[in-house]
């Protein structure tokens, strides 16, 4: 009985150690000019390499504007890395806990339900904001072949599934017959 309690306590402690290990990481937030995060990142990387500053990682979470996260040994190292970088406004005084940004770092695969004959809006690329009809779906490659609706001549265009958004779904022929009866 005592042995079981010891094992449970050891498991709990090892779980706490993992959590503490992640919380001991020094992560600092760097404020930047909105939509200039990529430029700031490239300047930071070159600064860190040139000056050999102990910065372990630079993170730019997708969808978060105006902030970049730095994992550095100390706050002064993070400030030194950001010193003189254009569009970098400064390091926030308070450390960022890993648990606060964990959901931005963990990548989850979103299953998209795109079918043939769906009407979609193209959300990126040269045909941004154009409506199109799905002609073919290749789920293995993550590609869709679409034809623009407003085009005079139907031209098949191959796009990534991420670059289209379903607007409305074309109903199956069997479903249309049921509704008409």
Q: 24 falls in which pLDDT band (50, 70, 90)?
A: confident
Q: For residue 20, what pLDDT is reported? A: 59
pLDDT of residue 49 exceeding 50, the answer is yes
pLDDT of residue 179 exceeding 70, the answer is no
What pairs with residue 138 in β-bridges? 143
pLDDT of residue 157 exceeding 90, the answer is yes
DSSP code for 131? E
Q: Would the pTM count as exceeding 0.75?
A: no
Over residues 133-152, mean pLDDT: 92
Q: Give the H/E segment covering residue 89.
A: strand 88-91
Q: What is the 3-state secondary structure (H, E, C) of 158-178?
A: EEEHHHEEEEECCCCHHHHHH
- Render the burial of 15-54: b for 16+ CB within 10 Å, e for the rest: eeeeeeeeeeebbbbbbbeeebbeebbebbeebbeeeebe
Q: Are 149 and 135 in contact (CB under 8 A)?
A: no
Q: For residue 78, what pLDDT is reported? A: 95
Over residues 59-72, mean pLDDT: 90
CA distance 98 to 19: 9
Q: For residue 5, what pLDDT is reported? A: 41
Q: For residue 178, what pLDDT is reported? A: 45
- Tokens for 124, please give them: 């990126």
DSSP code for 36? -
* Mean pLDDT of all residues belonging to the chain: 82
The residue among 62 and 51 whose pLDDT is bigger is 51
Domains with residue ranges and CATH for the chain = 10-105 (3.30.70.940), 119-170 (2.30.30.30)
Residues with Cβ within 8 Å of residue 90, at least 6 apart in sequence:
30, 31, 79, 82
What pairs with residue 90 in β-bridges? 31
Say what percent of the chain tops pLDDT 70.
Answer: 77
Q: 88-97, 128-137, 169-178 — which is least confidently predicted?
A: 169-178
CA distance 81 to 29: 12
Q: For residue 69, what pLDDT is reported? A: 95
69-122 pLDDT per residue, tens: 999 999 999 999 999 999 999 999 999 998 888 888 766 656 678 889 999 999
């Amino acid at each position: 009985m005592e042995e079981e309690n010891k094992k449970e306590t050891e498991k709990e402690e090892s779980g706490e150690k993992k959590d503490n290990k992640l919380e001991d990481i020094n992560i600092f937030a760097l404020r930047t000019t909105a939509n200039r995060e990529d430029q700031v990142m490239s300047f930071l990387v070159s600064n860190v390499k040139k000056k050999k500053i102990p910065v372990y990682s630079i993170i730019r979470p997708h969808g978060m504007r105006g902030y970049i996260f730095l994992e550095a040994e100390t706050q002064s190292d993070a400030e030194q890395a950001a010193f003189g970088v254009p569009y970098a406004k400064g390091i926030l005084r308070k450390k960022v806990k890993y648990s606060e940004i964990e959901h931005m770092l963990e990548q989850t695969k979103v299953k998209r339900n795109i079918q043939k004959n769906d009407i979609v809006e193209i959300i990126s690329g040269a045909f941004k904001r154009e409506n199109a009809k799905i002609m073919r779906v290749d789920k293995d490659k993550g590609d869709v072949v679409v034809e623009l609706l407003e085009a005079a001549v139907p031209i098949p265009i191959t796009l990534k599934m991420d670059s289209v958004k379903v607007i409305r779904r074309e109903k199956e022929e069997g479903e249309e017959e049921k509704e008409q009866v």
